[in-house]
Amino acid sequence: MKITLNGESRETEARTLAELLAEIGLAEAKVATAVNEAFVAAPARATHALEAGDRIEVLAPMQGG
């Protein structure tokens, strides 16, 4: 199915947000996620179903000062 990941169109076979994170190598990473501009907490990723056309944002924490 076609989704948008961090602003870029992408094809995926992932059916859940957790599967997508595993597909892109971030399964164990500490990241924040949102689907269609709605925050998805880490415990909900395994059950959060993806649909064609979804817009997913994955953000890693940044350090600085």
Mean pLDDT by 10 residues, the chain (65 residues): 98 98 95 98 98 96 72
Sorted by sequence, the CB contacts under 8 Å of residue 29 that are 6+ apart come out as 21, 60
Domain spans of the chain? 2-59
pLDDT at 60: 87
pLDDT at 27: 93
pLDDT at 31: 96
Question: Which CATH code is given to the segment(s) 2-59?
Answer: 3.10.20.30
Sign of CA dihedral 48, 54, 60, 62: negative
Residue appearing with tokens 């870029």: 8
pLDDT at 62: 76
pLDDT at 65: 62
CA pair distance 19, 8, nearest whole angstrom: 18
pTM of the predicted model, to two decimals? 0.91
